Amino acid sequence: MLLKGGRNIAALYQRNEQQAKLGIPPHWSSYVTVEDAELALASALDAFACATFRDPMESYVQRMLWALEADGVVPQGACDPFGAEISELERTAVYDAVRALRQR
């Protein structure tokens, strides 16, 4: 077992003799376990929505640019010249929401 922070996060094993004889090639297999996958995803998306879909709605495009900026999709400093002015605290909230989604 592979551990991270004292928790099992993965398992590694070798192909056994019977698998080799059957011609099963070496391969990777993955799995994910959560209590309730739909609830976990819904909670993460709700948090992101709270950081992005808020007043003033004229600044929605800027918040989306910040989300893309946080993921490295667009360069830092990309801006919506037509949006309402919003604070750097909102940028931090959007960045935090993106990071939280990436950790799930």
pLDDT at 62: 93
| pLDDT tens-digit map of 20-68 | 899 888 877 776 666 777 787 888 889 889 988 888 888 989 999 999 9
Q: How many Cα atoms occupy the beta-carbon half-sphere of 97 within 13 Å?
A: 24
Whether the pTM exceeds 0.75: the reply is no
- Identify the residue with better confidence: 101 or 94: 94
DSSP codes joined into one string, 83-96: SPP--HHHHHHHHH
